[in-house]
Structure 1
Amino acid sequence: MKNDNESADHVVVVPYDVEWPARFESERQWLQPLLAPWLTGDIEHIGSTSVPGLAAKPVIDMMAPVASLKDARPAIVAASEAGYLHHPYRADVMHWFCKPSPHVRTHHLHLVPRDSPLWRERLAFRDALRADPNLAQQYAALKMQLAAQFRTDREAYTVAKGPFVQSVLSTVLPSLPPRPDGEAAP
């Protein structure tokens, strides 16, 4: 049996799996009513698993729109009771969760204010990759190269994708200011 769980200790990029959209939809249908008191819209499938044909780390990334991080604080308890582990990663822009554990991940959940730059950037990047198969192939090649280069350093892998992500975002969101931290927005 194929193991699609991502080890937090290693960066592993695998070929696209046609089951990823169904895995997202199943989880979305379960989470949407659970988080409904804090949501301002539908949960979105983001990240590389949301782009047909794109190689990815085998983790389903989901972004849920909330009015504000402060108003959504009670959702941390609800998500935790549903098996999601909260971690204060980038706590100034989102509430971040992983499932089932920090060491083996199948899902990430990001509660993000709907009107925030991060919300717009993640959707714009996903949509740009979906609309341009050549761009998606360039991104896949970069991810494979960086996964080999930074196999045991997730943060370095993420930071190294930053210039590509920023380049795409500067095209689709021309008024986007450069990120001082060098981190990839999506």
Structure 2
Amino acid sequence: MPYDPSWPAAFQLLRRRIWPAVQRTALSVEHVGSTAVKGLPAKPIIDLTVVVPFRSDVPDIIDRLSVVGYRHLGDQGIEGREAFDSLHDGPRHHLYLSPQGSLALHNHLIIRTALRRNPALARRYAELKLHLAQRFSHDLDAYTAGKTEFLLEVLSLAGLDTHRPRDIRSANALPSHSER
């Protein structure tokens, strides 16, 4: 859907709900994904990532988030990113947990920053997303796979290590592609 100017406020509402539970250990709660980029069309689901200093902090934060109504779903195949399901009413959202320095967090922050700073790049991404949403309106895996090369281009412009694109392609591959 087109950009909704209420998305930043929805993020802040969710952040205020989460931060008290994690603030002793966490470094930040980041608004990531397309809803974090002004003007970018997106699925109306806020993506948030709790950032912790070390991998060893992850179990403690998983416990703290469970106390405030989140169910841990595991890494869902993305190393360095734990996913959670919300038991709350309120803005639809995906909550993640990543240690500082993880590839998953690094990618989210680089892409968010690049799209915020470069309106032409954000317009290109918006056009691609709209095209893919029309073409794959009932196939989220194909939609996600269709964005991969563009996102790799953004990461490459930011100086991503040469071995990492293979990891990202693998994480975003359609199930039938990864089985070949």
Smaller-chain TM-score bracket: 0.7 to 0.9
Instruction: Give 1:69-108 correspondences, 5 Å limit.
Output: 69-88=55-74, 89-90=76-77, 92-100=79-87, 106-108=92-94
Distance 1:100 1:16 in 2: 26
- Given the superposition, is the C-alpha separation of residues 174 and 69 from structure 1 closer, same or farther in structure 2, using an over 3 Å criterion? closer
- How far did residue 44 of structure 1 move? 0.8
Alpha-carbon displacement from aligned partner over 1:59-85 (angstroms, at most 9, x marks no partner): 111111113344311322332332323
> In the alignment, is the contact (CA less than 8 A) between 1:100 and 1:107 conserved in 2?
no
Q: Partner of 2:166: helix, strand, or coil?
A: coil
Mean Cα deviation higher: 70-79 or 19-28: 70-79
Alpha-carbon displacement from aligned partner over 1:46-102 (angstroms, at most 9, x marks no partner): 10000001000111111111133443113223323323232121363211113358x
Alpha-carbon displacement from aligned partner over 1:102-142 (angstroms, at most 9, x marks no partner): xxx81111100112222222111101000111111111111
Mean Cα deviation higher: 144-153 or 76-85: 76-85
Residue 30, structure 1, aligned to residue 11, structure 2: no
Segments of 5+ residues of structure 2 without an aligned counterpart are 173-180
- Given the superposition, is the C-alpha separation of residues 35 and 176 from structure 1 closer, same or farther in structure 2, using an over 3 Å criterion? farther
Mean Cα deviation higher: 26-35 or 125-134: 26-35
How large is the RMSD of aligned CA atoms in angstroms?
2.2
Structure 1-normalised TM-score?
A: 0.81
1:166 to 135, 146, 152: 152
Structure 2-normalised TM-score?
A: 0.83
Distance 1:76 1:53 in 2: 33
Other-structure match for 1:10 = none
Distance 1:63 1:165 in 2: 18
The size of the alignment, in residue pairs, is: 168
Distance 1:149 1:77 in 2: 40
- Given the superposition, is the C-alpha separation of residues 137 and 98 from structure 1 closer, same or farther in structure 2, using an over 3 Å criterion? farther
Q: Percent identity?
A: 37
Distance 2:9 2:81 in 1: 25
Residue 142, structure 1, aligned to residue 103, structure 2: no
> In the alignment, is the contact (CA less than 8 A) between 1:38 and 1:66 conserved in 2?
yes
Larger relative contact order (C-alpha < 8 A, sep ≥ 6)? 1
Distance 1:176 1:117 in 2: 13
1:115 to 64, 84, 101: 101
Q: Partner of 1:64: helix, strand, or coil?
A: strand
